[in-house]
Amino acid sequence: MSISICTFNVNSIRSRIDLISRWLREKRDVDILCLQEIKCEREQFPFEAFESLGYSCAVNGQKRLNGVAVCSKAPFSAIKTEFGNETLDREKRLIEVKTGETSILNCYIPRGGEAGGERYNYKIEFFDALRTYAKELLERDERVIVLGDFNVALEELDVYDPEVFEGAVGFLPSEKEKMRKLLESGLHDCFRELHPESRTFTWWDYRSAGIWRDEGMRIDYILANDIMCKECLRVEVDMWTRRRRSPTPSDHAPLIAEFRDLGGSVGKKR
């Protein structure tokens, strides 16, 4: 039985829970939902809403900022929220779970800022530390998925107009180089593997109403090692939660991949 895995920057889970609950009940049956920018501590996370839909949730939360969570219909055999690295642990941006024989690392990379600034430097340091950790994870486990909001559009195909984004945060050459280095550690961009020529986006600026003109960026990724990339059957962006005015959407849309197998015996609650 195939397994669907979603990455979704929700831009505040408490603001988005009604929209997400409706989406999951009426539109999309997702097995594993990886959330970024939940903007709450664990105590404020809406566990009951997800439990009513058959999910168990692992949360690494932060008050008003950042925060990540994984909600799964497949059982966790391990959960990790601390990574023994000051850069990775400074803000709540990572959570790792294991289900079946697959390790899933859910990431929210810092947005950064202008080159040379404090937030830019933190983003670059975070990418370096994440690459080091990803290499360790890939050496340790046979099945690995690394996903989330990476706040980088890697290629010209990943923005609606490369000239508009020239010199912009998220499209800087130095940021793209760090993203490529992460991929070179042994990961594949599942969407681009299956859609090599597609100009498809996952984020649209609220301020410009770019969603209605499809003026966006692809900054959310599902990456996988060789074994899991071969298990990936399809990847798509689900626009239902984004192309609407009510309930208020996130500025991101969910990116969903279907994998043939996660290895081991993975039972799902139904």
Look at residue 260 in the predicted model and tell me its pLDDT.
96
What are 246-267's pLDDT values in tens digits? 889 999 999 999 999 999 756 5
Give a yes or no: residue 267 inside a domain.
no
**At residue 127, does pLDDT exceed 70?**
yes
Share of the chain above pLDDT 90, in %: 94
Token pair belonging to 54: 């058959």
User: Is 112 among the domain residues?
Assistant: yes
Q: What is the mean pLDDT of residues 73-83?
A: 97
Q: Is the pLDDT of residue 270 over 60?
A: no
Does residue 219 carry a pLDDT above 80?
yes
Q: How many domains does the chain have?
A: 1
In-domain check, residue 268: no
Specify whether the CB–CB gap between 229 and 254 falls below 8 A: no
79 vs 246, which has greater pLDDT? 79
Beta bridge partners of 145: 104, 224
Q: How far, in whole angstroms, is CA 66 from its chain's centroid?
A: 13
Whether 266 maps to a domain, the answer reads no
Once rounded to an integer, what is the mean pLDDT over residues 167-190?
98
Q: pTM, whole model, 2 decimals? A: 0.97
Q: What is the mean pLDDT of residues 186-190?
A: 98
Is 63 part of a structural domain of the chain?
yes
How much is the average pLDDT of 187-216?
Answer: 96
Q: Could you report the per-residue pLDDT of 230-248, keeping only the tens digit for each?
A: 999 999 999 999 998 888 9
Cα dihedral value 190, 194, 196, 199, nearest 10: -80
CATH number at residue 236: 3.60.10.10
Indicate if the pLDDT at residue 215 is higher than 70.
Answer: yes
Q: What is the 3-state secondary structure (H, E, C) of the chain?
A: CCEEEEEEECCCHHHHHHHHHHHHHHHCCCCEEEEECCCCCHHHCCHHHHHCCCCEEEEECCCCCCCEEEEECCCCCEEECCCCCHHHHCCCCEEEEEECCEEEEEEECCCCCCCCCHHHHHHHHHHHHHHHHHHHHHHHCCEEEEEEECCCCCCHHHECCHHHHCCCCCCCHHHHHHHHHHHHCCCEEHHHHHCCCCCCCCEECCCCCHHHHCCEECCEEEEECHHHHHHEEEEEECCCCCCCCCCCCCCECCEEEEECCCCCCCCCCC
Residue 33: domain span = 3-259
Whether 79 is covered by a domain: the verdict is yes
Overall average pLDDT of the 87-97 stretch: 98
Residue 105 inside a domain? The answer is yes
CA-to-CA distance for 225 and 147, rounded, in angstroms? 11
Share of the chain above pLDDT 70, in %: 98
- Position 267 scores a pLDDT of 57
148-163 pLDDT, tens digit per residue, is 999 999 999 999 999 9
At residue 269, the pLDDT reads 55
User: Quick one: pLDDT band at residue 169, thresholds 50, 70, 90?
Assistant: very high
In sequence order, the β-bridge partners of residue 98 are 78, 103
Amino acid letter, 2: S
Q: Is residue 269 part of a domain?
A: no
Per-residue model confidence (pLDDT) at position 265:
59
The yes-or-no verdict on residue 73 having pLDDT over 80 is: yes
Average pLDDT, the chain: 96
The mean pLDDT of 190-215, rounded to a whole number, is 96
Tokens describing residue 14:
């408490």
Q: What is the pLDDT of residue 268?
A: 60
